[in-house]
């Protein structure tokens, strides 16, 4: 065993030992305050606002999560935003609407929009081979930008390979290192012949966007999406400065440690391993605004939206409601209704943002815990406004 391995083991031991007090804590029951003004959080009538708030208050306890944020837009254009729970496990710091949480793979919808806007501008082609940017990939000439966008490239997911090293919160992954990892394994199948969700696809798309545009990914996000839509609580961290309202996340599902693991706010490892596949941080309000404008056609041309919403069959064992995947969009069936959007699982947070294309309903939910069932929360919010 060489000295590097020994040092790694020692660092891991110190990290785990100092984390023991955090790892053994549970989530206490949240007792909602007796008085809070619901109407100031949107234009929805008081009765429905109370029903939506009741869903959050019940789910924050039944799912045993620290906190939940939600944004709802009804078919008639009325809105409601609410929160329940806290940013901490001691139940002392109430979660606010402007508290920022990492949103994981919801980032992919933003990345897909940036790629499609570059295609609109003629800077790359949807069916252009990626060999121009990633010649080291197996069968790179047969893999297209479209294959990366809809997870039909056959490129294996590198995230399982970086999990253990990412436990160290100060780790910073370099893009070249991630790309090299993605090129090491053989393809799972011939490009275009099957579906396999892979974060590697979107890491590569982020790198392509930077090379084609000559801009950093966070600059592109701000220029093309965040600033035009006034999404002031959305950031690409740690590639830009973290906002003061970023809250810590908690994990009890991804890691193998007992109890609750405090991910903190200064952790760089998970975000840099995800890059354009999952490094975005936002609020339920901002996610709701983004997906509303996207489906209404205010961001992309009609031709690009048609491409984005062309779904292939994509069952997901981890997400039974999913039945299709487009270009950076999941298709779910919830409560008998077809929804477009994305779910995001991240170390210390979970998010879901969905739009019903038939009536324009928008629901976004964020949480500061890894992998609670937010589809369940969305379904009950959906039922409350019907």
Mean pLDDT score of the chain, rounded to an integer?
91
Tell me the two tokens of residue 91: 């139940």
Range 101-131+214-384 classified under CATH 1.10.10.60: no
Q: Which DSSP state fits 187?
A: P
pLDDT at res. 9: 54
* Helices 199-213, 107-120: crossing angle, 10 deg rounding: 40
Q: Domain locations in the chain?
A: 101-131+214-384
Dihedral sign for Cα 365, 366, 370, 372, please: negative
pLDDT at res. 222: 98
pLDDT of 19 above 70: no
Smallest CA-to-CA distance from 357 within 383, 339, 377, 336 is with 339
Distance from chain centroid for Cα 122 = 28
pLDDT of 18 above 50: no
Q: Tell me how far apart the alpha carbons of residues 261 and 368 are, in angstroms, rounded to a whole number.
A: 12
pLDDT of 27 above 90: no
Q: Could you report the per-residue pLDDT of 46-75, keeping only the tens digit for each?
A: 899 999 999 999 999 999 999 999 999 999
Q: Could you report the per-residue pLDDT of 80-110, keeping only the tens digit for each?
A: 999 999 999 999 999 999 999 999 999 999 9
State the maximum Cα–Cα separation within the chain, in Å, rounded to a whole number.
66
Q: Tell me how far apart the alpha carbons of residues 38 and 360 are, in angstroms, rounded to a whole number.
A: 23
Q: Tell me how far apart the alpha carbons of residues 339 and 378 are, in angstroms, rounded to a whole number.
A: 11
pLDDT at res. 169: 78
Read off the pTM: 0.92
Number of Cβ atoms within 10 Å of the Cβ of 214 = 9
The predicted model gives 152-169 an average pLDDT of: 84
pLDDT at res. 154: 97
Q: Could you report the per-residue pLDDT of 199-234, keeping only the tens digit for each?
A: 999 999 999 999 999 999 999 999 999 999 999 999
């Amino acid at each position: 065993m060489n000295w590097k391995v020994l040092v790694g083991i020692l660092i891991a031991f110190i990290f785990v030992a100092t984390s023991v007090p955090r790892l053994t804590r549970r989530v206490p029951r949240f007792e909602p305050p007796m008085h809070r003004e619901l109407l100031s959080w949107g234009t929805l009538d008081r009765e429905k606002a109370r029903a939506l708030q009741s869903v959050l208050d019940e789910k924050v306890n039944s799912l045993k999560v620290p906190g939940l944020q939600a944004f709802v837009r009804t078919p008639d254009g009325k809105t409601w935003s609410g929160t329940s729970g806290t940013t901490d496990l001691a139940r002392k710091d109430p979660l606010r609407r402007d508290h920022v949480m990492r949103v994981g793979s919801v980032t992919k919808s933003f990345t897909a929009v940036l790629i499609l806007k570059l295609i609109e501008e003629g800077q790359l082609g949807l069916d252009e081979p990626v060999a121009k940017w990633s010649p080291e990939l197996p069968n790179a000439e047969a893999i297209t930008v479209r294959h990366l966008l809809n997870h039909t490239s056959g490129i294996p997911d590198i995230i399982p390979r970086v999990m253990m090293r990412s436990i160290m919160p100060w780790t910073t992954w370099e893009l070249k290192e991630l790309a090299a990892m993605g090129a090491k394994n053989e393809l799972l199948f011939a490009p275009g012949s099957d579906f396999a969700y892979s974060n590697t696809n979107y890491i590569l798309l982020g790198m392509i966007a930077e090379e084609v545009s000559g801009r950093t990914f966070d600059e592109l996000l701000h220029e093309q999406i965040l600033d035009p839509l006034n999404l002031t609580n959305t950031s690409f961290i740690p590639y830009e400065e973290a906002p003061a309202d970023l809250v810590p996340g908690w994990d009890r599902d991804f890691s193998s440690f007992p109890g609750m693991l405090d991910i903190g706010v200064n952790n760089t490892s998970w975000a840099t391993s995800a890059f354009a596949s999952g490094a975005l941080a936002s609020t339920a309000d901002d996610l709701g605004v983004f997906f509303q404008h996207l489906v209404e056609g205010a961001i992309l041309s009609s031709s690009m939206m048609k491409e984005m919403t062309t779904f292939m069959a994509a069952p997901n064992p981890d997400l039974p409601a999913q039945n299709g995947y487009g270009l950076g969009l999941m298709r779910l069936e919830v409560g008998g209704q077809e929804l477009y959007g994305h779910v995001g699982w991240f170390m210390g947070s979970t998010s879901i943002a969905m739009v019903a294309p038939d009536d324009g309903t928008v629901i976004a939910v964020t949480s500061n815990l890894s992998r609670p069932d937010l589809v369940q929360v969305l379904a009950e919010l959906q039922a409350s406004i019907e």
